[in-house]
């Protein structure tokens, strides 16, 4: 039996794979992601999930919700208690159901973050550096963004300074282990800010920006879209809106004290909050 099928049928196996089984899983996942465009264009009732950071339980519960599509916005590893279990389970589901499960890249799908927040050391400690290299290659091939039902721009961090046409995301290069393109970097790292008009430097670091109401409204209008759905920030309530609902920010990890993890179900252009507790 294929290792992906084994993990889907018994998710408890996701963090108990041998090095050979894990290499097979990562090779299959890489094949699937390489075949996808950098900008997904998805239609159908879709459950959108924010950062899970090793929270296998939230990922599992999300996939038990009734939906046609499942779109995860990145940050599957680092910080959490079940990093390997979470990411391996999601990769196996993606391989087995590539037309229903979609996994975007987050800012934690990169070696620099994994060195600092734990995933690199967990993988190398259990399996060695070659398996981590395979994870990094898989992460570098994940799509950066999606357009959902022709109305929502889905991304990990948010709008990028210099990106006017959403379709230009299609031209971003796959395989950048550390994103070097300024647009790609910003899609993973930028944050909305109510005090900013268009763009302003971010305290997160160089080449990263805060984006404001005017930037959001201009991007949505020029692309015929209605809202941005993103992750990347912690909110204990699990869901926060900016700019009178033009930006929805999701947090789906239960491992922070007092957090109520949420997802959002899009039914056509309408949406509603879904609890993952």
Instruction: Give 127-183 pLDDT, tens digit per residue.
Output: 999 999 999 999 999 999 999 999 999 999 999 999 999 999 999 999 999 999 999
Rounded Cα distance between 106 and 92, Å, is 18
Q: Is the pLDDT of residue 244 over 90?
A: yes
Catalytic residues: 108
Q: How many Cα neighbours within 13 Å face the side chain of 265?
A: 14
In the chain, the domains with their CATH numbers are 3-275 (3.60.21.10)
pLDDT of 113 reads: 98
pLDDT of 81 reads: 84
User: How many helices, marked H, and strands, marked E, lie in the chain?
Assistant: 9, 14
Q: Which two tokens stand for residue 20?
A: 């050979």
Which region, left, alpha or beta, applies to residue 205 given φ > 0 means left and ψ of -120 to 50 means alpha?
Answer: left
**Which tens digits make up the pLDDT trace of 13-47?**
999 999 999 999 999 999 999 999 999 999 999 99
pLDDT of 219 reads: 99
**Confidence label for 238 from pLDDT (cuts 50, 70 and 90):** very high
pLDDT of 79 reads: 87
Q: Which two tokens stand for residue 246?
A: 């033009």
The SS3 call for residue 246 is: coil
Rounded Cα distance between 62 and 243, Å, is 27
pLDDT of 257 reads: 85
| Range 185-189 average pLDDT | 99
What percent of the chain has a predicted confidence (pLDDT) above 90? 97
State the residue for tokens 């094949």. 31
Kindly give, in sequence order, each residue whose CB lies less than 8 Å from that of residue 5, ignoring residues fewer than 6 positions away. Answer: 92, 96
pLDDT of 145 reads: 99
Rounded Cα distance between 223 and 218, Å, is 9
Give pTM, 2 decimals.
0.98
pLDDT of 1 reads: 77
**Which tens digits make up the pLDDT trace of 88-120?**
999 999 999 999 999 999 999 999 999 999 999
**Average predicted confidence (pLDDT) for the chain:** 98
Rounded Cα distance between 138 and 135, Å, is 5
């Amino acid at each position: 039996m294929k290792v992906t099928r084994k993990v889907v049928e018994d998710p408890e196996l996701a963090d108990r794979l041998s090095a050979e089984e894990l290499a097979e899983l990562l090779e299959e996942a890489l094949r699937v992601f390489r075949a996808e465009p950098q900008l997904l264009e998805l239609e159908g009732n879709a459950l959108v999930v924010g950062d899970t950071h090793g929270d296998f339980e939230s990922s599992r519960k999300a996939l038990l919700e009734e939906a046609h599509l499942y779109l995860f916005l990145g940050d599957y590893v680092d910080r959490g208690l079940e990093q390997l279990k979470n990411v391996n389970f999601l990769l196996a589901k993606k391989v087995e159901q590539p037309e229903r499960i979609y996994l975007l890249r987050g800012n934690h799908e990169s070696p620099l973050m994994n060195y600092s927040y734990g995933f690199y050391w967990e993988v190398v400690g259990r399996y060695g550096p070659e398996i981590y290299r395979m994870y990094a290659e898989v992460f570098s091939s994940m799509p950066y963004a999606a357009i959902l039902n022709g109305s929502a721009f889905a991304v990990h961090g948010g709008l990028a300074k210099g990106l006017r046409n959403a379709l230009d995301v299609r031209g971003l290069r796959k395989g950048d282990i550390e994103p070097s393109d300024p647009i790609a970097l910003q899609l993973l790292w930028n944050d909305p800010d109510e005090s900013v008009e268009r763009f302003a430097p971010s305290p997160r670091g160089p080449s990263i920006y805060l984006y404001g109401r005017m930037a959001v409204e201009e991007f949505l209008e020029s692309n015929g879209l209605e809202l941005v759905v993103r992750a990347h920030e912690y909110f204990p309530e699990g869901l926060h809106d900016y700019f009178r609902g033009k930006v929805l920010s999701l947090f789906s990890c239960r491992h922070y004290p007092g957090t109520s993890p949420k997802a959002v179900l899009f039914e056509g252009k309408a949406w509603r909050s879904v609890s993952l507790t």
